[in-house]
Amino acid sequence: MMPPLLALQGVSKSFGGLEVITDVAFNVEAGGRTALIGPNGAGKTTLFNLISGVYRQDKGSIALSGEDISDIASRRRIGLGMARSFQNIRLMPHLSVTENIMLGQQARAGSLADMLTPLSLFGRTKWRREAEELLGRMGLDTYPGEVVATLPYGIRKKIEVVRALAASPKLLLLDEPAAGLNPTETAALSDFLAEIAETGVTLLVVEHDMGFVRSLCDHAVVLNFGRKIYDGPTGSVQEDPDVLEAYLGRRNRNEDAAASAREGIHAA
């Protein structure tokens, strides 16, 4: 039996004596689209930082394709098949779209010389051709020579995702990809990410927009005060009593309270 693509077991993290992640365990299966959600302050970004190697957990383990990566640096995790985009766009605004994608290719470099190769000044290298081909497959071949700073916000969001894809990841971590987008841009991004998932890339998404989550993700993990309170299908998350209590702040199972909680989840 194949191991899950990502497996967390008993993961905990404290800052200054305050435990912000407590004994969290869940799996992300290969090919899945999993949402990591919860109220503000639930610990979602901290957990993302643990998975991507920005922080190291105090207890527990994190495995990628069955390999324990708990002590592996974040850059090496990229080489093992993990890539991440951030809530705040981190593209180089003065570079072209293609040049930004080529920066993403550096994650695959095995040496300093390899790292500098994608940025070679000598014409149309294989790296540049690969970047342009990737933009074409993702439907962004209209923009290769455009300076990123001149492009609409929704397009820049897509470009950041494509830059992460340039590292050839098996698992793509997306930190609030719909933040700052209008409804039209959000719908377009959801369709775009669904197309990426169809290519075999597994998605793990932190997101507040539940409409976006429902349209994209088939599985959800919910945190509250650093603890996992739900791990199951996205379609059932808004009916779970523990999730309703987390968003309401109290347990009340009558229909009016449940409806209010669901509205709160929509707005979160």
**Any idea where the domains of the chain sit in the sequence?**
1-81+169-237, 91-168
pTM of the prediction? 0.82
The answer to whether residues 37 and 243 touch, using CB atoms and an 8 Å cutoff, is: no
What is the distance between the alpha carbons of residues 138 and 252, in angstroms, rounded to a whole number? 46
> How do residues 138-186 score in pLDDT, each as one tens digit?
888 877 788 999 998 888 888 888 888 888 899 999 988 888 888 998 8
What local confidence, expressed as pLDDT, does residue 109 receive?
55
| Farthest-apart Cα atoms in the chain, separation | 68
Output the pLDDT for position 200: 93
Q: What is the pLDDT of residue 253?
A: 46
CATH code matching the domain that covers 1-81+169-237, chosen among 3.50.30.40, 1.20.1280.50, 2.40.128.30, 3.40.50.300: 3.40.50.300
> CA-CA distance, 164 to 187, in Å (whole number)?
20
Residue-wise pLDDT for 22-52, tens only, equals 999 999 999 999 999 999 889 999 999 999 9
